[in-house]
Amino acid sequence: MVLNMKVKIGIIISLIFILNLIVISKYYSKPQTTFKEQKNIFAQEKYYLEKNLDRYNSYYATHPDLKIKDIIAIVNVDADKKAYENNQKADVNKGNLILVNKYNYLEENYTPANLMNMSTKFAYQDKQTIVEVNEAFINMYNAALKDGVNFYITSAYRSFTYQKELYAKYLLNYGEDYTNTISARPGFSEHQTGLALDILSEHVQMSEFVNTKAYKWLKENSYKYGFILRYPENKSYITGYAFEPWHYRYLGEEIALKVYQENITYDEYYAYYLAN
């Protein structure tokens, strides 16, 4: 009887011990889904913005396979929202640093100050840009020539009206989905700022420009003259545009260097350092 009692107590203690083990192991193997833990995952990332935490969480919930750093980039630039439908007026007070994309637009009557005609020595007929951009481009052009590299401008400032015609032409030829990856709606084009240039090589198709010496040179050197490659390869989920090796955006030397060094898109740079 006494022995039986000891056996019973032994069995009960063992059961309690096993139950404890089960509870403890379940607790520690639980996936990290609590609010507090998710916040910590995001907060460790460089471009984390506290104000976007709720949006990081909801985007993560519907896109669990994405990298945390990509979720942060997407939300920071508003790409978790539908393009063109969640937009605001671009902040024209930012001057050369103005952000124009599928979420920040310019009004129909916006025309940059200090527009001038570019020389046909390096630009197609009737190309206009801002005086400061023209000077920076000439410096870049001359430096490239010294390295045996030549290029010319096919597109610079584009008015709202011109962009409207261009977008309509693309729509007619390609339909809306594809057009939206290659052309901006009127008001949403960076070319309306006067700060964007399309640069190509002579006798080279746009689709072949990526393979040229000129593209390689621009990619490695344009920041020294204040320009950045605006729609880089594999970044269309952030910029909303397919890779455009020919499209350069003037920011001035200081900021162009920073964007180049951090190796992020201008949309991301603006959201993190310049918005607000």
Catalytic residues: 244
Check residue 127 for interaction with Zn ion (CB under 5 A): no
| Spatial distance between the Cα atoms of 266 and 165, rounded to a whole number of angstroms | 26
247 binds Zn ion (CB under 5 A): yes
Least distance in angstroms from the C-beta of 159 to Zn ion:
14
Rule CB under 5 A: say whether 230 interacts with Zn ion.
Answer: no
Q: CB-wise, 60 or 232, nearer to Zn ion?
A: 232
User: What part of residues 150-189 is at the interface with Zn ion (CB under 5 A)?
Assistant: none
CB of 138 to Zn ion, least distance (A): 19
Longest dimension (CA), the chain: 110
Tell me if 268 contacts Zn ion by CB under 5 A.
no
Range in contact with Zn ion (rule: CB under 5 A) among 57-65, 114-122, 218-226, 242-250: 242-250
Between 52 and 239, whose beta carbon lies closer to Zn ion? 239
Q: At closest approach, how far in Å is the CB of 84 from Zn ion?
A: 18
Q: Which conformational region is residue 263 in: left (phi greater than 0), alpha (psi within -120 to 50 degrees), or beta?
A: left
CB of 108 to Zn ion, least distance (A): 19
Closer by beta carbon to Zn ion, 55 or else 249: 249
Of 71 and 229, the one with the shorter C-beta distance to Zn ion is 229
Question: Which residue number is nearest to Zn ion in terms of Cβ?
Answer: 247
Contact by Cβ (8 Å): 250, 132: yes
| Residue from 198, 231, 267, 272 binding Zn ion (CB under 5 A) | 198
**Sole window of 93-101, 115-123, 219-227, 247-255 interacting with Zn ion (rule: CB under 5 A):** 247-255
With contacts defined by CB under 5 A, name the span among 56-64, 172-180, 191-199, 252-260 that binds Zn ion. Answer: 191-199
According to the binding rule CB under 5 A, does residue 240 interact with Zn ion? no
> What's the closest the beta carbon of residue 239 comes to Zn ion, in angstroms?
12
Of 1-9, 92-100, 165-173, 246-254, which segment contacts Zn ion by CB under 5 A? 246-254
User: Over the chain, what HEC string results?
Assistant: CHHHHHHHHHHHHHHHHHHHHHHHHHHHHCCCCCHHHHHHHHHCCCCCCHHHHHHHHHHHHHCCCCCHHHHHHHHHCCCCCCCCCCCEECCHHHHHHCCCECCEECCCCCCCCCEEECCCCCECCCCEEEHHHHHHHHHHHHHHHHCCCCCEEEECCCCHHHHHHHHHHHHHHHCHHHHHHHCCCCCCCHHHHCCEEEEECCCCCHHHHHHCHHHHHHHHHHHHHCEEECCCCCCHHHHCCCCCCCEEEECCHHHHHHHHHHCCCHHHHHHHHHCC
Please report, as ranges, the residues that interact with Zn ion according to CB under 5 A.
Answer: 198, 247
